[in-house]
Amino acid sequence: MNERISALREQFEKRLAAIQSLQELEEIRVSFLGKKGLVTEALKGMGALSDEMKRTLGKETNELKSMITVALGEKLEAIRQLEEQRQIDQMPDFDVSLPPAVEAGSYHPITLVQRQCEQVFRSMGFTVEDYSEVVTDWECFESLNIPKFHPARDMQDTYYLENGQLLKTQTSAAQNAIYLKYRDALVKDGVPIKAIFPGRCFRNEATDACHENTFFQMEGVMVDRNISISNLIYFMKTMLSEVFRKDIRVRLRPGFFPFVEPGFELDISCLICGGSGCASCKHSGWLELCPCGMIHPEVLRMGGIDPEEYTGFAFGLGLTRLAMMKYGVADIRDLNSGSLVRLSQFVDDVQV
């Protein structure tokens, strides 16, 4: 075989073995079989050869050309298959054309009731405020008329940080900040303060079916001229009927909280036992759901509001208890259990 032809064949085989992509394959094709390719080059100067040699060289060149063409074709197919396999390997393990999984996650029952309450209060003109979980002694106690060494502090032991701050025991801890935030609008522009502030609270407590060290409340305040207990009762009734969507028995009785005067306990008849008494309601048939009252003048004053001109009400709705009652969760500890089997079964009629 002609030396140049066999050198070309060798060169081609070497390069063919090394290629990985379709692009390289095309480059090789052009460089060997193209108009100015190596095979054409090899035939240059053939004019000087004898007829015999020309014939042999021509034949060998054609054989080389068809060998290259066949080899390129086979390589093309091999690369295509490899590429296809690579794409298959990269595909996720599930069938993307299937309809979405039925279990797409669910809201926690407390989130559900929180959003419902927010909807109800928003529709009545309340703003929804966010507040931190770590607060100062002033926010959680002093500004709520609970000075140091006041016996009311005993009811709310909590977790203290080394810097003296604490995990808030009650959403009431945001009251002072809310008064200061909206006081100017109230006094200068006559805009009533109407705000709710849901949040997580903490207490250093032994846990049982109706007590947890971590639970949720939703505080609400309204301050304006001439706000009275009737306003308070109206808003509480509206909220409860919207959230439960059925008649529930409610009772209002006096309750002591240093930041309201007068203060009330708003109880609902226990929906777990129907009022006959169970572990969820401490066997009383009633559940303290929403303590409330008229904001103490001193608390308004500390919030920069003149209690001679303005009055207001405040309430501290137990969101965790509300979720228990609404969804029939008998043990409060289930709500913090993280058990998806238990927590994912609550879907609500209300869009949240």
Residues that bind ligand DAH in the complex, under the rule CB under 6 A? 170, 172, 219, 257, 260, 263, 291-293, 314-316
Q: How far is the CB of 294 from ligand DAH (least distance, A)?
A: 8
Burial class (CB in 10 A: 0-12, 13-18, 19+), 48: exposed
194 vs 127: CA distance, rounded Å: 6
Closer residue to ligand DAH in complex, CB, 32/257: 257
Q: Which residue is nearest to ligand DAH (CB)?
A: 316
Closer residue to ligand DAH in complex, CB, 166/260: 260
Q: How far is the CB of 278 from ligand DAH (least distance, A)?
A: 22
Q: How far is the CB of 290 from ligand DAH (least distance, A)?
A: 8
Q: How far is the CB of 103 from ligand DAH (least distance, A)?
A: 36
Q: How far is the CB of 334 from ligand DAH (least distance, A)?
A: 21
Cα–Cα distance list, 343 to 100, 126, 324, 334 (Å): 21, 29, 12, 8
351 vs 343: CA distance, rounded Å: 18
Closer residue to ligand DAH in complex, CB, 60/212: 212
Task: Please name which of 232, 230, 235, 236 lies closest in space to residue 250, comparing C-alpha atoms.
Answer: 236
Task: Please name which of 178, 177, 176, 181 lies closest in space to residue 143, comparing C-alpha atoms.
Answer: 176
Closer residue to ligand DAH in complex, CB, 112/222: 222
Q: Which residue has the tokens 């609400």?
A: 220
348 vs 352: CA distance, rounded Å: 8
Closer residue to ligand DAH in complex, CB, 260/325: 260
Closer residue to ligand DAH in complex, CB, 42/299: 299
Strands 250-254 and 127-128 come out as unpaired
Q: How far is the CB of 320 from ligand DAH (least distance, A)?
A: 11
